[in-house]
Amino acid sequence: MNRSHIKFAAAAAMACAMALPATSSANYQSAMKHRQQTKNTWRNLGYGAAALGVYGLLTHNSTMTWLGAGGAAYSAYRYEGDRRSQNTIKERHSYLRHHARRRHRR
The pLDDT value recorded for residue 96 is 66
Average pLDDT for residues 20-24, to the nearest whole number?
A: 51
pLDDT tens string 41-97: 999 999 999 999 999 999 999 999 999 999 999 999 999 988 888 777 767 666 666
Confirm whether pTM is higher than 0.75. no
Residue 20 has pLDDT above 70, yes or no: no
Task: Concatenate the DSSP letters of all residues of the chain into one string.
Answer: --HHHHHHHHHHHHHHHHHHHHHHHHHHHHHHHHHHHHHHHHHHHHHHHHHHHHHHHHTT-HHHHHHHHHHHHHHHHHHHHHHHHHHHHHHHHHHHHHHHHHHHH-
Residue 42 maps to a domain: yes
Residue 89 maps to a domain: yes
Residue 50 maps to a domain: yes
**Structural domain of residue 85, as residue ranges?**
28-105
Average pLDDT for residues 2-24, to the nearest whole number?
A: 60
Residue 23 maps to a domain: no
Domain count, the chain: 1
Residue 15 maps to a domain: no
Residue 13 maps to a domain: no
Residue 53 maps to a domain: yes
